[in-house]
């Protein structure tokens, strides 16, 4: 049976139900009519595809993939593609809605989209991964393109995967199409500065929040869950700005260094061991106790739904900055709000990545690469303006930062929807 958004795949946390309820609440806060709220909640297009792949053994295995375009009232769909064994339609729908809000929050001319294939990529050979990527790209080709929907890397996908997608679409269309994806290598239309852009955005938001709370970044103790594409550069960026990263977790475990982790030493150790666990001079932490490590700032930078009600009750940090997508459940968010813990939500905090993708797309369309300094200057300006707008609106609406960001995003989508009208 094909599962659609609004149909729970289990009794556990359902990301689609969670996101749609947040949008509905924001719509009511803004006093939008029910018709407008329903239009904003409902995905415009849900594409489910079968992805047959010939394995190295000669056998054919079947996988399932999705591309969901949630809202394109403000521009082409934008959102990553993830390869993970837990991927399902509810998750992809929720992430596509997150992208709609996120792009509106940072005020770039994109709508929201997301894609994924239910597969454990670690079980595939490089050749199998390429065949899976190209078949998936072929299947979603009718709905993606520089003017319609622009994919990017996400969980377990990278510049190489984007290169295969770009090449597949180029072969299908008979002309070079660098603008069909972002997050590409420099050699085929990527951009200087894209690597680490999400981490830089998280850092900017962290510093901006501390400034507005009249707190200095020096010696603020930070814990970071996740040491991948976002968490790894984030540890270094935060340390360079005077903060002490005292604990880091990855899929294999967690470590604690009360006096602060040396980011370069951690990077070297991770490169050799493939995990943060075992860093010389560190103490091993039970992953279940990670969030209770004494800290001032907690940054989830892994998968969604990790800050549950139970975690929110035990977390020691006085500030949370969401580097991951949807890391806090509704119950967890309620507990943090009750405890007076400010949370910079994912739709603002980790938007540096989509801003960088916007810059790459613009450069591809222009056929002109910006200097790295210009890239970073524009990224910082965009993120600062977005944070300041949310902070000001936060004071006007009298609700927490998460509800404020959602309200700003929904408000901008509603404005575009009204202006465009309803066809026919």
What pLDDT, on the 0 to 100 scale, is given for residue 193?
Answer: 87
Averaged pLDDT, 135-149: 98
Rounded to an integer, the average pLDDT of 146-162 is 95
Tell me if 286 sits within 8 A of 308, measured CB to CB.
no
According to CATH, where is 3.40.50.720 located in the chain? 197-349
CATH 3.40.50.10860 boundaries in the chain: 15-176
CA atoms within 13 A on the CB side of 114: 26
Residues 115-138 have a mean pLDDT of: 98
CA nearest neighbour of 231 among 193, 191, 276: 276
- For the beta carbon of residue 292, count every other beta carbon within 10 angstroms: 16
Q: What is the pLDDT of residue 105?
A: 98
| 290-326 pLDDT per residue, tens | 999 999 999 999 988 899 999 999 999 999 999 998 8
- Asked whether the predicted pLDDT for residue 330 surpasses 80, the reply is yes
What integer is the mean pLDDT of 179-198?
94
Query: Region 108-120: what's the mean pLDDT?
Result: 98
Top pLDDT among 136 and 305 is at 136
User: Is residue 238 within 8 Å of residue 206, measured between CB atoms?
Assistant: yes
pLDDT of residue 2: 36
Q: How far apart are CA 368 and CA 366, in angstroms?
A: 5
As a whole number of angstroms, the distance between CA 96 and CA 374 comes to: 29
pLDDT in tens, 255-304: 999 999 999 999 999 999 999 999 999 999 999 999 999 999 999 999 88
Q: Say what the pLDDT of residue 15 is.
A: 86
Find residue 254's DSSP bridge partners: 249, 285
Is residue 114 among the annotated active site residues? yes
Average pLDDT, stretch 45-57?
98
String of DSSP letters for 223-277: EEE--STTHHHHHHHHHHTT-EEEEEEETTEEEE-TT---HHHHHHHHHHHSSST
pLDDT digits (tens, 9 = 90+) for 306-315: 999 999 999 9
When pLDDT is averaged across residues 176-192 and rounded to a whole number, the result is 96
Q: What value does the mean pLDDT take over residues 174-195?
A: 94
Place of tokens 């999400």: 198
pLDDT in the model for residue 229: 86
- Statement: 15-176 belongs to CATH 3.30.70.100: no
**Structural contact between residues 305 and 329, judged by C-beta atoms closer than 8 angstroms:** yes
Q: pTM of the entire structure?
A: 0.91
Give counts: helices (H), strands (E), the chain: 14, 12
| pLDDT over 80 (residue 76) | yes
Domain at 197-349: CATH code:
3.40.50.720
Give me the pLDDT at residue 271, please.
96
Calculate what percentage of the chain has a pLDDT beyond 70: 97
pLDDT beyond 70 at 9: no
CA torsion sign for 392, 393, 398, 401 is negative
Q: State yes or no: pLDDT of 11 exceeds 70.
A: no
Catalytic residue among 102, 114, 236, 244: 114
Of the pLDDT bands very low, low, confident and very high (cuts 50, 70, 90), residue 3 is: very low
Q: What is the mean pLDDT of the chain?
A: 95
């Amino acid at each position: 049976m094909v599962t659609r958004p609004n149909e729970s795949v289990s009794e556990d946390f359902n990301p689609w139900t969670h996101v749609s309820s947040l949008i509905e609440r924001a719509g009511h806060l803004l006093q939008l009519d029910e018709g407008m709220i329903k239009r904003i909640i409902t995905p415009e297009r849900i594409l489910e595809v079968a992805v047959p792949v010939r394995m190295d053994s000669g056998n054919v295995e079947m996988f399932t993939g999705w591309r969901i375009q949630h809202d394109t009232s403000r521009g082409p769909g934008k959102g990553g593609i993830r390869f993970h064994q837990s991927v399902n339609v509810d998750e992809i729908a929720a992430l596509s809605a997150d992208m709609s809000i996120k792009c509106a929050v940072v005020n770039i001319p994109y709508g929201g989209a997301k894609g994924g294939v239910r597969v454990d990529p670690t079980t595939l050979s490089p050749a199998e991964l390429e065949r899976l990527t190209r078949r998936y790209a072929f299947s979603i080709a009718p709905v993606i393109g520089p003017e319609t929907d622009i994919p990017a890397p996400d969980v377990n996908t990278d510049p190489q995967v984007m290169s295969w997608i770009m090449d597949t679409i180029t072969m299908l269309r008979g002309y070079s199409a660098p603008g069909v994806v972002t997050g590409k290598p420099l050699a085929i239309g990527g951009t200087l500065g894209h690597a680490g852009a999400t981490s830089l955005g998280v850092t900017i938001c962290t510093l901006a929040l501390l400034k507005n709370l009249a707190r200095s970044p020096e010696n603020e103790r930070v814990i970071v869950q996740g040491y991948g594409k976002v968490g790894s550069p984030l540890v270094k960026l935060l340390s360079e700005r005077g903060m002490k990263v005292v604990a880091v977790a990855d899929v294999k475990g967690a470590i604690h260094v009360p006096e602060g982790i040396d980011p370069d030493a951690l990077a070297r150790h991770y490169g050799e061991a493939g995990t943060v666990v075992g860093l010389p001079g560190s103490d091993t932490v039970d992953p279940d106790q990670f969030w209770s490590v004494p800290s001032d700032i907690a940054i989830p930078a892994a998968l969604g739904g990790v800050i549950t009600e139970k975690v929110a009750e035990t977390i020691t940090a006085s500030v949370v900055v969401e580097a991951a997508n949807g890391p806090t459940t509704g119950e967890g968010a309620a507990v943090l709000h009750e405890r007076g813990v400010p949370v910079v939500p994912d739709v603002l905090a980790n938007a540096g990545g989509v801003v960088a993708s916007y810059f790459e797309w613009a450069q591809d369309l222009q056929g002109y690469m910006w200097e790295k300094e210009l890239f970073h200057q524009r990224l910082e300006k965009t993120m600062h303006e977005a944070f300041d707008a949310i902070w000001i609106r936060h004071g006007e609406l009298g609700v927490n930062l998460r509800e404020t960001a959602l309200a700003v995003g929904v408000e901008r989508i509603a404005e575009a929807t009204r202006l465009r009208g309803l066809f026919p």
